[in-house]
């Protein structure tokens, strides 16, 4: 080897990597606390909050702890939360009647949070799976085999109006029924809730990464399986063009923000969407993404903080403006 050998290169990309200060100057993507939404699980009753076995450091929060968690997040600069209920199994049935109970867990949680922290952005899920005894996101036909689209949308519209009345900033339909964004927008406007925004789960895939979430809210237990088949309404993971169509439809029907779920395995979908819309884009780093990083780190196979931060940075780099992540609190504390 000749130590004096030198190439004559007009471009040496390494010049811009020579020091931390130079790397910071030319950094193209920056993750900030303003990008983060913290999904929170809420439980009913006066018992203690419960840890979620498959989601380390995540809890089903009682009402007192929910307020404490919201306060802690605000202190760290996280200004938005998404609320997801663990509904008492005794309140579930095939028609999801608890979903439109005027005093259900979600509505009580929203009222309490907004009364205590009026400036905190609150996002609520609009879907029936927490409330059905079969675990599907809609009501079924008489055979129990088909999820009925239009009757389900009618219930979702009622849910959205009730959540708006309770004070949410965003209703977030996650069901993937056809036409639900336009129907919900009309229902909200007709009820005078023109300022309530819609964060649409526009490209929600029939993913294997939802298992820990289903444990957390109890929808898997309701169905008796962690392998609940939702492929007749959630997107085929193989289909890129179909995802684009769903995003176009939701935008045309009045969605204020479009979301891709899951995030990490679908970075190409996020980038496609960024290239084809002027609307803000959200991405949901789902429970399976979170839990696999946690599990590998527990076994010392991965560095938790470095992999956590890299995973979120890749989602932002792909084009997401907003990231729903269970890492929100920990990342905010580190920024």
Tell me how far apart the alpha carbons of residues 42 and 55 are, in angstroms, rounded to a whole number.
Answer: 14
Torsion of CA 236, 237, 238, 241, to 10 degrees: 70
CA 252 to chain CA centroid, Å, is 21
Q: Give the helix/strand (H/E) hosting 322.
A: strand 322-325
CA 35 to chain CA centroid, Å, is 13
Contact 333, 83 (CB under 8 A): no
Contact 49, 59 (CB under 8 A): yes
Q: CA distances (Å), 112 to each of 36, 65, 177, 232, 265, in order?
A: 22, 12, 30, 36, 35
DSSP bridge partners of 261: 204
Tell me how far apart the alpha carbons of residues 115 and 279 are, in angstroms, rounded to a whole number.
Answer: 30
Q: Where are the alpha helices (DSSP H) in the chain?
A: 20-25, 63-76, 105-116, 149-166, 180-190, 211-217, 219-223, 240-253, 267-274, 287-298, 304-318, 328-334
Q: Which of 43, 92, 204, 230 is catalytic?
A: 204
Q: Give the helix/strand (H/E) hosting 121.
A: strand 121-126
**Is 306 among the catalytic positions?**
no
Collect all residues with Cβ–Cβ distance below 8 Å to 121 and sequence separation of at least 6. 37, 79, 80, 81, 169, 170
**Is 204 among the catalytic positions?**
yes
Q: Which of 43, 261, 316, 329 is catalytic?
A: 261
Find the distance separating the first CA and the last CA of the chain, reported in whole Å: 44
Burial class (CB in 10 A: 0-12, 13-18, 19+), 17: exposed
Residue numbers annotated as active site: 204, 261
């Amino acid at each position: 080897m000749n130590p004096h050998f030198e190439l004559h290169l007009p471009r040496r990309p390494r010049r811009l990597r020579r020091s931390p200060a130079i790397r910071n100057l030319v950094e193209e993507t920056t993750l900030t606390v303003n990008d983060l939404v913290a999904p929170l699980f809420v439980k009913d009753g006066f018992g203690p909050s419960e840890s979620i076995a498959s989601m380390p450091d995540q809890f089903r929060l009682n009402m007192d702890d929910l307020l404490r968690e919201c306060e802690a997040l605000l202190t760290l600069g996280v200004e938005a939360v998404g609320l997801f209920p663990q509904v008492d199994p005794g309140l579930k049935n095939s028609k999801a009647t608890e979903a439109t109970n005027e005093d259900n867990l979600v509505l009580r949680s929203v009222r309490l949070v907004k009364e205590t922290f009026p400036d905190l952005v609150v996002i609520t899920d609009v879907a029936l799976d927490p409330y059905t005894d079969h675990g599907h996101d809609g009501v079924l036909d008489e055979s129990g085999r088909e999820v009925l689209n239009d009757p389900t949308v009618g219930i979702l519209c009622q849910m959205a109006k009730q959540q708006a009345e309770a004070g949410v900033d965003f209703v977030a339909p996650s069901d993937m029924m056809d036409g639900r964004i336009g129907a919900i927008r009309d229902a909200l406007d007709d009820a005078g809730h023109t300022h309530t925004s819609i964060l649409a789960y526009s490209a929600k895939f029939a993913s294997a990464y939802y298992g820990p979430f289903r444990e957390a809210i109890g929808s898997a237990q309701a169905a008796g399986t962690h392998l609940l088949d939702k492929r007749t309404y959630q997107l085929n993971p193989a289909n890129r063009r179909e995802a684009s169509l769903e995003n176009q439809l939701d935008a045309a029907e009045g969605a204020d923000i479009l979301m891709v779920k899951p995030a990490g395995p679908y970075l190409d979908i996020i980038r496609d969407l960024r290239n084809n819309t002027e609307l803000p884009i959200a991405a949901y780093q789902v429970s399976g993404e979170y839990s696999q990083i946690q599990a590998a780190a527990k076994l010392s196979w991965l560095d938790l903080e470095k992999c956590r931060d890299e995973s979120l940075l890749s989602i932002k780099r792909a084009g997401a403006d907003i990231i729903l992540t269970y890492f929100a609190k920990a990342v905010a504390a580190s920024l």
